Amino acid sequence: MSPDDQHSLPAAARSAASRPPTVAVVGATGAVGTEMLRVLEARGFPVGELRLLASRRSAGTTMAFRGAEVAVAELDEAAFAGVDIALFSAGGERSRRFAPAAVAAGAVVIDNSSAFRMAPDVPLVVPEINAAALAGHTGIIANPNCAAIISGLPLWALHQANPIRRVIITTYQSASGAGAAAMQELIDATRAYLAGDEHTPTVMPHPYAFNLFSHNTEIDPDTGYNDEETKVIRELRKIFAAPDLRVTATCVRVPVLRAHSIALNVTFDRPMTPAAAREILAAAPGLRLVDDAARNHFPMPNEASGADEVLVGRIREDVSDGSGRSLALFVAGDQLLKGAALNAVQIAELVRQR
């Protein structure tokens, strides 16, 4: 909303538009919820009142925010009275139950689950790509899948210069994508393995230490794709507003604590040189070029962990395509930040501006 627009509003409305919003974080004690609090604080997001909402077992605990301890309350429908922005990261079931109550109470919901992503009337937003989609929201805005965000940023930058015709995506997804319990399971399993002890997995379906396996989501018996792969394919098409974009994905869980890595093989409408791609990616928002062939230094999850930017590099011609229209590249991004909490807060910042 522009200053002129605010001036034309009644005094009460101008006051509501300018005051710091009441912000609720749903799932505040989880891995992504914890990062949401940190990102809100680090980016100086204006918060008039903060409400931390979680399950009954977390109610009564406290979490630090801007030098104060804030009590965690139990999530229920009545918790949203007076809330302006509600950041949800509590799973699809809770989002489907409680997001409509938050909207009915007057809040704008930014939801990190998959519950509403493919709903036609819900924008699926990566601010660097399709911020304009926010104009059509009716109270709920969806945060995309982490792998779709991390792969989408470099793909979009290249797509603007030379339309993409096909993408082959292979992900190497860390424990952080499955939450705090999976991260702890990887730590415990690694300790046990190194000590020569047995460790029975309880969060993941297979032994996690020094192992990798197909992403731990359900396999579609008709397509053979797991649910994570289907999400990445469908969500990229929606974010790019390109329903016919040819995308395939293979999603794998790897024994990395935090930050996802992704190999991309991209075919363009016209020839694209690695040098041209580097120039485009180096200037694109949300990306950091890490492409030092002399030192064999390319994107790595340990350098992406804790970083706001998605690292992109290993940019080279696909020598199997003699037309010069295909490139291979490698990216790494923090699933808890740009893949989740940071993207959600960036959406909230745009909501505040409108």
Exactly one of 137, 159, 215, 260 is catalytic; which is it? 260
Residues in CB range of 249: below 8 A, 6 or more apart: 147, 168, 169, 170, 171, 225, 228, 229, 232, 233
CA distance 5 to 46: 20
How far, in whole angstroms, is CA 132 from its chain's centroid? 18
Measured in degrees and rounded to the nearest 5, phi and psi for residue 61 equal -75, 170
Q: Evaluate whether 72 touches 63 at the Cβ level (below 8 Å).
A: yes
Is residue 146 flagged as an active site residue?
Answer: yes
Tokens of 117: 């992503």
Is residue 215 flagged as an active site residue?
Answer: no
Q: Specify the amino acid at residue 213.
A: F
Q: Considering only CA atoms, which of 174, 340, 333, 339 is closest in space to residue 253?
A: 174
H or E stretch at 319: none
Calculate the alpha carbon distances from 122 to 3, 77, 180 in Å: 28, 21, 28
Q: DSSP string covering 219-246, please?
A: BPTTT--BHHHHHHHHHHHHHTT-TT-E
Instruction: List the alpha helices (DSSP H) in 28-117.
Output: 31-42, 92-104
Exactly one of 137, 146, 159, 251 is catalytic; which is it? 146
CA angle 268, 271, 274 (to 5 degrees): 95
Calculate the alpha carbon distances from 153 to 177, 194, 208, 253 in Å: 18, 37, 29, 21
Q: Specify the amino acid at residue 18.
A: S
Residues involved in catalysis? 146, 260
